Chains A and B, each alone.
Chain A
Amino acid sequence: MKKFLSVVKREYVQRVRAKMFIVSTILLPLVMSLFGLVPAIILSIETPPMRVAVVDQTGRMYSQLRQALFNDQQEAGTQNANAAAPPTTPRRNFSRFVLEEVDATDQPLDQIRASLDQRLRARELDGYVILPPAFLSEGKAEFVNRNPGDLFSPRVLQSAINRAAREQRLIDAKVDPKTRQELFKTVELQSVKVGAAGDQQQPDSGGSFAIVFGVGFVMYLAILMYGQIILGAVIEEKETRIAEILFSSVKPFTLMMGKLVGVSLVALTQLAIWGIAFSVFALYGVGLLASQGMRASIPSIPFSHYIYFGLFFLLGYFIYATIYALVGSMVTTAQEGGQLAMPIILVLVISFYLFWPVSRSPDSPFSFWVSMIPFTAPVAMLVRIVTQTPPFWQIALSLLIGFSSVLVIMWLASRIYRVGMLMYGKRVSIPEAIRWARQA
């Protein structure tokens, strides 16, 4: 045990002290936030509003359309904006429109078209809409766009015209304003967990799903970053030719476990630093939003779930990390190992796709089995826990299978490592395997 701790300590101290660790701890969040910021900055670049002419041959639609379009923009804008205020600062600037009514009563359509086309070419106009006289009954309109590559504006326009038409038809049908309002009231669908229905209204598992996804993502991140480091750590003694000196003092299994745990503690240290930093920012952000009257709440999740999140995160991390160790025990250089490790990431990604089938039927035999297989259990079992929490024995069994697999894989890795180093490629004989297993 003391030797094991010495190996862990060496691995941990050497790595945490290294410049690489400090640099990556600071740099990664910066890079990540850059990734978050750049699209936001790009989207906030001001583009001039789209100038659209409306040829309203029905004579009743223009004001409705105008209202529909600008109400839309207002909703997308700041919520506390007062309804009477002009729609000056919509947030989604790509949906900004400037409307212009074209008098369609005293000229033939062809003439109007020709003059509008000319204005399009002269870039005085970005597009025009023609609402034919039979528009309200037939529901067919035409939109001429100077920039056919713009996929977004026609859609916004279409939905606005759609709403305007609906409104106008109701008006034509003599439906009073109050009824009209009632008709368009949106429905609220609140998902409620079984058992929690009735007086105690618990919020749905949406928030929990987000956290499961978060746990999975952090797991993925940790494996992506630290898998290769574990691989390197296992190869280190081969490359520096220290292995034989070490094996005259510690058992290969002790060495392997020490390395795995040491590197993992480094990973957890780094994640903890980021986690704390993130929480501080998040709390600050929530406070900021609250001061602006916005409600941002942390989903209410039973305390036991947090423990499961932690346990299955560790399981997921270790099960994949040990595979890297196993690969490391088989190869002699880190590059070689990197190639062999690719399928590992693939399995991890596949386990993410189980999210959907498992969340749809968390009780099915399929869900049961994938939540028992160590490689898919972390995601699958967490999904089951937040949807229909399975009986405790299943959770315990999944953890038991998972962590036992970690030990078995490490044992295997340490054997392959030793044999690979000493036997010059000889395969392990069963009597020898048994003898060494007994000695351990």
Chain B
Amino acid sequence: MAANETTVKLDGVSKSFGEFTAVRDLSLTVRAGRVFGLLGPNGAGKTTTIRMIVNITAPDSGSILLFGRHIDSNLQDRIGYLPEERGLYKKMRVADQLRFFAEIKNMRGKEIESKIDQWLARVKLSEWKNKRSMELSKGMQQKIQFITSVIHDPDLLILDEPFSGLDPVNVELLKEIVLDLKRAGKTIIFSTHQMEVAEKICDDICLLNRSQKVFEGSLREIKSSFGRNSVAVRCEGGDGVLDDPGLVSKLVRHADEAQALLASGADAQTLLKRLIDSGAVIGKFEMVEPSLNDIFITKVTEPA
């Protein structure tokens, strides 16, 4: 798939439930072969947006193009969807379960069996193939749910909070799989409210807040547009300097270091000099990119 092809295109999409508007006039473009982060706090409209893309619910207005076509139920077979609300049939065996989910994606019988084995091996659950899902731990169940969304080799994979509740080892495992799929040319939409996770795997992001788009673009672009105006500092003494609003517009103290966002007009050199002059002992002084979280907070609080 060519790099500049568009997988999903939303144009002026709105959706409301009674009085409540879940999504307002949303336009966005998901490019093929990229990981697209749909970010925002809880209730921002992420899940509703995704449901419209997967054709579970229809927009009130606006258009949605998927692979250049208007969505219909046949296109659903090319999508893999792992919703935030997910479960398994408790009494069904793992293999039967995966076979069922593959069948309703119109997969052919022969292909299904080999894919089941392949994916179970990949997530290290091969020996659980004939166990009922209620015998599995929560983490194992989550990996099985993940397989249900990828077993039919979809061109577009949509993951809604895929890592919530997983231990770090399994998060790493799934992240690796997602990146492999991206390398194989698949498009991935990744929805989360955890900015730190998104920062590590997304190429492009779209920030949603209160049903509206706040920002859309590549992660690199947005980060560089904010510039390196943040400093990570670890020092003893010099508190008065860091609290000077002329130098630091925002200060976040972590356990053993602080992150200072430089005030407009101030520069890092001046800050360093003032700290040394005040007699502070400096353990660390490093220019850092703003975190996605900082950007998000800035964007959301910024007057429109």
Contact = CB atoms under 8 A, between A and B. Distances in A.
For A245, A248, A251, A418, the residue with the greatest tally of chain B CB atoms inside 10 Å of its CB is A248
Contact of A14 (B55, B77, B92): B92
Interface residues of B, number: 35
Interface string A250-290: 11000000000000000000000000000000000000000
Given A3-B104, A249-B101, A422-B51, A240 B58 contact: no
A35 interface: no
A14 B132 CA distance: 12
B100 A6 contact: yes
Given A6-B103, A439-B72, A248 B87 contact: no
B121 interface: no
Given A248-B56, A439-B73, A241 B87 contact: yes
Interface in B86-143: 86-92, 96, 100-101, 103-106
A240 B87 contact: yes
Interface residues of A, number: 30
B91 A14 contact: yes
B303 interface: no
B104 A250 contact: yes
Interface string B141-183: 0000100110000000000000000000000000000000000
A424 B51 CA distance: 14
B29 to A, nearest CB: 21
Contact of B148 (A7, A14, A245, A247): A245
Contacts, number: 80
A250 B92 CA distance: 19
B57 interface: yes
Contact of A18 (B54, B86, B91, B104): B91
A178 interface: no
A236 B55 CA distance: 22
B18 interface: yes
A6 B57 contact: no
Contacts of B101: 245, 249
Contacts of B104: 3, 6-7, 246, 249-250
Contacts of A249: 76-77, 101, 104-105
A244 B86 contact: yes
A299 to B, nearest CB: 45
Interface string B33-75: 0000000000000000001001111101000000000001100
Nearest to B84: A244
A331 B201 CA distance: 40
Secondary structure call for the B interface: loop
A439 B83 CA distance: 23
B81 interface: yes
B37 to A, nearest CB: 20
B18 A242 contact: no
A436 B51 contact: no
A2 interface: yes
A251 B73 contact: yes
Interface in A207-264: 236, 240-242, 244-251
Given A14-B92, A249-B77, A244 B83 contact: yes
Given A14-B92, A240-B90, A248-B81, A3 B106 contact: yes
Contacts of B55: 248
For A2, A10, A236, the residue with the greatest tally of chain B CB atoms inside 10 Å of its CB is A10
A426 interface: yes
A432 interface: yes
A432 B81 contact: no
A407 to B, nearest CB: 19
A435 interface: yes
A426 B221 CA distance: 40
22 contacts: A2-B103, A2-B106, A3-B104, A3-B106, A18-B91, A240-B90, A241-B85, A242-B86, A244-B51, A244-B85, A245-B83, A245-B86, A245-B101, A248-B83, A249-B101, A251-B73, A418-B56, A418-B57, A422-B51, A423-B17, A435-B58, A439-B72
Interface of B: 17-18, 51, 54-58, 60, 72-73, 76-77, 79, 81-83, 85-92, 96, 100-101, 103-106, 145, 148-149
Interface of A: 2-3, 6-7, 10, 13-14, 18, 236, 240-242, 244-251, 418, 422-424, 426-427, 432, 435-436, 439
Q: Give the 6 A-B residue pairs with the shortest CB-CB distance, closest first.
A: A241-B87, A248-B81, A6-B103, A240-B87, A244-B83, A249-B104
Given A6-B104, A242-B86, 14 more contacts: A3-B104, A3-B106, A10-B96, A240-B88, A241-B85, A241-B86, A242-B87, A245-B86, A245-B101, A245-B149, A247-B56, A248-B83, A424-B17, A439-B73
